[in-house]
Structures are given as C-alpha cells and as structure tokens.
Amino acid sequence: MRHSLNKILRENSFFTKGDLIRYRDIRKDVGRNIVLDKKKENIFELFSANIQRIEEALRVLEEVFKLLDYKSEEKFRKLRFQTYALEKKAYPIILRYAKRKNI
C-alpha cells in the first residue's frame, strides 16, 4: 500500500521533496506547541488511532486530487477502501494476539 501511495504522489507531484523541505517553516509550525495525545492504553487504541489517521489522510488526498487529477483520485479511493479491508482483516488478528499476550 505504501508503495502505491508513493507512486501516485511521484506521478502527480507539483513540488519535489526538496521543495517541501525548503518551504517548511519549523519555527512557525502550528503543530510545534500542540500537546500530544495521552499514551495509548492498549494495542486496540494504538491500532485504531493509527488506522483512522491513514483513512483520514487518504480521504483528504482523494478530495484534493478530485481537483488536480481525476485518475489519481480514483487510485486514492481504492487505497482508502483497501485500508478499510485491512482494518477489518487485522482486527481479529489483533484481538487474538492481545488475548494471547494478555494486553
């Protein structure tokens, strides 16, 4: 999935990685002073929080590429639904692991 995402972004990049790094303003970054979330209590919270971040990010990219490149928008939608499928498949595996490890 990561390779698919990187490929789509490389094919449609309006900025190089160097441009993005050069334009980043670390001192004024709004995320610099944000208080981090509390520590996750268990593997379910950790997995859920991170899979949700992936789903949200893919949805944002899908919306952006509706304006820029319709073919890429479709690719992001496919990745988003692959993520939903991964979440559904991973949940019982995580549950079994957590029960076995008692976490």
Model pLDDT for residues 41-68, shown as the tens digit of each residue: 788 888 988 999 999 999 998 998 888 8
The pair of structure tokens assigned to 57 is 């990010």
Q: How far is Cα 6 from Cα 93, in angstroms, rounded to an integer?
A: 27
93 Cβ partners below 8 Å, 6+ apart?
none
pLDDT in tens, 84-103: 999 999 999 998 888 887 76
Tell me the backbone φ, ψ of residue 45, rounded to 5 degrees.
-65, -45
pLDDT reading at 34 higher than 80? no
In this predicted structure, what is the pLDDT of residue 103? 65
Among candidate residues 14, 77, 20, 83, the one with its CA nearest the CA of residue 54:
83
Range of lowest pLDDT (31-45, 48-62, 71-85)? 31-45
Q: Which amino acid makes up residue 56?
A: E
Of 6 and 43, which is predicted with more confidence?
A: 43
